[in-house]
Structure 1
Amino acid sequence: MSRRCLRLSLRAGESLPPDLGWRVERGYVWLARPSSDGALLTLGLWGPGERVIPSLIGLSGLELRSLSPVVVEEEEVSPAMEREFLEDQLRQAAILLLLSRVRPAEARLLQLLDWFGERFGTMTSQGVMLRLADRPLTHQQLADIAGMTRVTVTKALSHFRDAGVIEAQAGGGLLLKVASHELWELA
């Protein structure tokens, strides 16, 4: 007899049990762990169609949160799913480690937005449209993910808007108007 899998619908900012395997059906989730000073360190981000299996990371104190309204379904994890998740996690960990070393903070935020665009964005004739579900990421969420303060994120986004690098879109989207290879030149 197969067991019944749990299905959850959560609002942005709500926590999911990190000891289960999840398939994201709608929305975006964020995995983090508090550092010794209490700041959250980003370990990964997942969106629609992706699986997240925090227990495979082997760390205690993990927090799995919804970045947007989400619908997730618990999955019984096969060895192939475990391997796929670990490969994805290794890639994300490498990217996040590289991003954490980018200075100044403005350049780090721009690189983070570019990474979001590659993973979750939609390419348009004007650039990459970023939209997480029905709402944009808040400045505080971006700050938490990037390891920055909310004030720094707000100032950087204002600077990017003034420079024409990003443009707010109707409905809460954000258009990143710079190609990936140009981002390092702006930093």
Structure 2
Amino acid sequence: MATTTTAQALRLTLQPNDVLPENLNWKIQEGYIRTATWDEEGETITLGVWGPGDWVTAAYSALKPVEIQCLTTVVVEQFQPEPADIEALLLQQIKNLEEIFQVNRIRSADQRLLALLAWIGRRFGQVSSRGYRLSLKDMNLTHKSLADLCGLTRVTVTKMLNRYKGEGVLQQISKDDLFIPSVALVPSVI
């Protein structure tokens, strides 16, 4: 009779701004994470934003270093991917990069921020035929982190968010939730 001993997967609870060890694969149980690197001047370049059900690793990136940073309180579990999991991750990484790149190529700062909010709403919010509902608080996306994601300054993001709310482009549903009506999005932003 043979006995098999299976090591229990490492499970961590981390706080916002904590960094996960990059030499392991992590399945996100709760919370939000971003993967990032830096340019020569030390400016952060976001490579992806990940949420519950996704898994992250630095193992399949050509860029070095890649930091896996918690945006919120996060619960992750060490994960041993199968080949199909790796293929799905690589496809999602490509999709994330392309979408973030597309947002960052929008020349108009107004449209760039709106495109970023729509992307976050599609990816992590509630989608309806009327638009996207998202909670920046749930994802711990401050004005500074939004600015980092789309290459603007924090002051510019704050001014534009206030203006969007005043013009009805963004609707404040509750203290923490925003709604972006589909009619507010021009075709080049979607």
Structure 1 length-normalised TM: 0.89
Q: Percent identity?
A: 36
Asked if the contact 1:122–1:130 (Cα under 8 Å) also holds between the matched residues in 2, the reply is yes
Instruction: Say whether the 8 Å CA contact 2:37–2:66 is kept in structure 1.
Output: yes
Q: Where does structure 1 differ by over 6 angstroms across 4 or more consecutive aligned residues?
A: none
Q: Does 1:168 align with 2:164?
A: no
- Name the CA shift for 1:93/1:11 in 2 (closer, same or farther; >3 Å): same
Instruction: Say which of 34, 53, 57 aligns to 1:30.
Output: 34
CA distance in 1, matches of 2:85, 2:188: 38
CA drift at 1:134: 3.5
Give the direction of change, closer, same or farther, for the CA distance of 1:40–1:102 in structure 2 (3 Å limit): same
Structure 2: stretches of 5+ with no match in the other structure: none
Q: How does 1:78-157 map to 2 (within 5 A)?
A: 78-123=82-127, 127-131=131-135, 134=138, 136-157=140-161
Q: Which one of the candidate residues 7, 21, 34 is aligned to 2:25?
A: 21
For 1:57, the equivalent position in structure 2 comes to: 61
Distance 2:24 2:136 in 1: 23
Name which of 72, 81, 84 aligns with 1:68.
Answer: 72
8 Å contact kept, 2:28–2:52: yes
Q: Shift of the alpha carbon at 1:135?
A: 5.5
Q: Is the 8 A contact 1:23 1:52 kept in 2?
A: yes
Give the Cα separation in 2 of the matches to 1:84 and 1:17: 21
Aligned letter for 2:33? V
Alpha-carbon distance in 1 for matches of 2:59, 2:183: 36
TM-score (norm 2): 0.88
Query: Does the Cα contact within 8 Å between 1:53 and 1:85 map onto a contact in 2?
Result: no
State the distance in 2 between where 1:172 and 1:38 align.
Answer: 31
Name whichever structure is richer in helix by fraction. 1
**Unaligned regions of 5+ residues in structure 1, if any?**
none
The one-letter amino acid paired with 1:95 is E
Alpha-carbon offset, residue 87 of structure 1: 0.7
Cα deviation for residue 51 of structure 1 reads 1.3
Could you report, residue by residue, the CA deviation over 1:111-149 in whole angstroms, capped at 9, with x for unpaired residues? 011111111111357632102574551111111111221
